[in-house]
Structure 1
Amino acid sequence: MATAQPSFRRIVDEIAERIRTGDLKPGDKLPSTSQLADMYDVSTGTVYRALSLLHDRNLIIGQSGRGTYVAEHPGR
């Protein structure tokens, strides 16, 4: 029996796919942490975990006090 995918992994996969397909382009601002939590019906901690993984993959960058954006060269 397959186990359900963790919520943070679903968020990572969906945002990464949107970047890959060009739906989210370099420089695009992502919704706030609380907006993403509402969109995915998860806690802000789950969103932070997903964003951390996306950052580790060089897909997004955070600008303190300004928000989180798609990296200029995603994945590099």
Structure 2
Amino acid sequence: MAAEITEKIKSGELKPGDKLPSTRKLADQYGVSMGTAYRALSLLHERDLIIGQPGRGTYVTDHSSK
């Protein structure tokens, strides 16, 4: 899941500022548990590809081209 989202960011399919679906929706979309989806998003956050904004959602950062 993390690799696929990373590729979408690198390819430009997901652009800086794009909002990602909720963790629950991503888990359903990728057919994984909530825990797996959460860990994948945590990994993307550690790589500075996404940022969480409490109460607003998770967004692609503008540092994703690094």
16, 20, 45: which one aligns with 1:30: 20
Aligned to 1:62: 52
Q: How many residues align?
A: 66
> Runs of 5+ in structure 1 lacking a partner?
1-10
Q: Which amino acid aligns with 1:37?
A: A
TM-score (norm 1): 0.83
> Runs of 5+ in structure 2 lacking a partner?
none
Aligned structure 1 segments of 4 or more residues deviating by more than 4 angstroms: none
Bigger RCO (CA 8 Å, 6+ sep): 2
CA distance in 2, matches of 1:63, 1:54: 14
- Identity value in percent: 67
Residue 75 of structure 1: CA displacement?
Answer: 5.6
State which structure, 1 or 2, has the greater radius of gyration over its C-alpha atoms.
1
TM-score (norm 2): 0.94
Q: Deviations over 1:6-30 (max 9, x none)?
A: xxxxx11000000000000000000
1:14 aligns with 2:36: no
Q: Are the counterparts in 2 of residues 57 and 75 from structure 1 also a CA contact under 8 Å?
A: no
